[in-house]
């Protein structure tokens, strides 16, 4: 295996002829691949990219300009414009790029083991910074991306594609420390405004990510469409999508430890949430504990779900014709049969 430095600055190797080169330039180079056919493409294409590349060698290392044009939907331009710098003494490679209207699905033919990639339909704009070691292994990456609108498909999480709009995403990957920090996530998800942040650690195929999601305001009828179907039947899922209805939720905050655990024997991965806490304020909602009890309607108050219990403090609420004030209610053991008292 050759390092990048040995290839670009060879001495007594099979690459020695390259040492005399001061500049290399490729113009309109076509990178071909499997035929691409997606519903949102203007036409089928048998190329992945058109590439312009210029590399200049100096005493410090290599400086390059890389422009890539990709297949795009009709009326759009899809491209990557980047600067590439290789520093000889530090033996590292840095990559800075601006991207416009990049649809991840265009790369689907090159990842046949990831069929979900072809089903994604969103356009990425923004900037990417990355650093590689001399073996071209990614060490650091910073993403600052925008998605005006699109749709993602995750069959294990949602029955249908989820509409996304006005996404702002900022993240930093540190591979040596095995961390991924998502400092900013802002989006309209299925019509619900969502703000989020997380600091994830990963090791040996497992991920642990303490996660904070905030919903400034949403109708209760919208919550079920964005709540993961894998957790709809959980205690939190039943209360937030079935037993609490009508009205609207404000200042909702979800704190949870999102985990991806790998089975050491089968290699299968399972996603789950642990130590989940949800707090919210509610206006005009209805709370139906069970089919045998009358619902409390027009509730104005706040609630906290934590440790398999739901605490509700209501300034007001009605049970049929009876109007109540300053109602305090705590339901425990929600996930246990017969619990909730």
| 290-328 b/e (C-beta count within 10 Å ≥ 16 → b) | eeeeebbbebebbbbbeebbbebebeebeeeeeeeeebe
> Is the model's pLDDT at 39 over the cut of 70?
no
Beta strand residue intervals within the chain, DSSP E: 23-36, 45-57, 61-70, 78-87, 92-102, 121-122, 124-132, 138-152, 162-174, 179-189, 192-203, 206-219, 244-245, 248-262, 269-287, 296-306, 309-319, 322-331
Mean model confidence pLDDT for the chain: 81
> Is the model's pLDDT at 41 over the cut of 60?
no
Percent of the chain whose predicted confidence (pLDDT) is above 90: 25
User: CA 85 to CA 73: how far, in whole Å?
Assistant: 31
| pLDDT at site 22 | 79
Report residue 9's pLDDT band, with 50, 70 and 90 as the boundaries.
Answer: low
Residue by residue, DSSP assigns 74-90 as TT--EEEEEEEEEETTT
Burial of residue 196 (CB within 10 Å: 0-12, 13-18, 19+) is middle
């Amino acid at each position: 295996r050759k390092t990048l430095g040995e290839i670009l600055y060879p001495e007594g190797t099979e690459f020695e002829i390259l040492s005399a080169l001061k500049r290399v330039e490729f113009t309109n180079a076509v990178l071909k691949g499997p035929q691409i056919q997606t519903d949102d493409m203007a036409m089928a294409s048998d190329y992945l990219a058109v590439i312009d590349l210029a590399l200049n060698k100096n005493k410090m290392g290599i400086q390059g300009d890389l422009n890539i044009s990709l297949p795009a939907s009709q009326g759009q331009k899809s491209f990557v414009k980047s600067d590439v710098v290789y520093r000889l003494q530090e033996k590292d490679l840095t990559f800075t790029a601006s991207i416009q209207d990049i649809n991840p699905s265009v790369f689907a033919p090159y990842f046949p083991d990831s069929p979900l990639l072809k089903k994604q339909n969103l356009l990425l704009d923004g900037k990417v910074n990355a650093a590689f070691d001399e073996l071209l292994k990614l060490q650091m990456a910073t993403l600052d991306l925008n998605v005006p609108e699109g749709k993602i498909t995750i069959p294990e999480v949602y029955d249908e594609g989820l509409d996304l709009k006005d996404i702002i995403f900022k993240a930093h990957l540190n591979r040596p420390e095995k961390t991924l920090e998502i400092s900013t996530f802002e989006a309209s998800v299925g019509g619900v405004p969502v703000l989020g942040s997380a600091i994830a650690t990963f090791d040996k195929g497992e991920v642990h990510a303490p996660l904070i999601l905030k919903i400034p305001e949403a109708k209760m009828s919208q919550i079920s469409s964005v709540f993961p179907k894998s957790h709809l039947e959980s205690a939190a899922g039943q209360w937030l999508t079935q037993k609490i209805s009508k009205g609207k939720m404000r200042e909702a905050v979800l704190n949870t430890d999102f985990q991806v655990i790998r089975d050491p024997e089968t290699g299968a991965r399972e996603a789950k949430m642990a130590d989940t806490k949800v707090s919210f304020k509610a206006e005009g909602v209805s709370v139906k504990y069970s089919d045998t009890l009358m619902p409390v309607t027009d509730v104005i108050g706040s609630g906290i779900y934590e440790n398999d219990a739901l605490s509700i403090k209501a300034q007001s609420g009605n049970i049929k014709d009876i109007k109540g004030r300053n109602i305090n209610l705590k339901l425990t053991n929600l996930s246990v049969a017969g619990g909730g008292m």
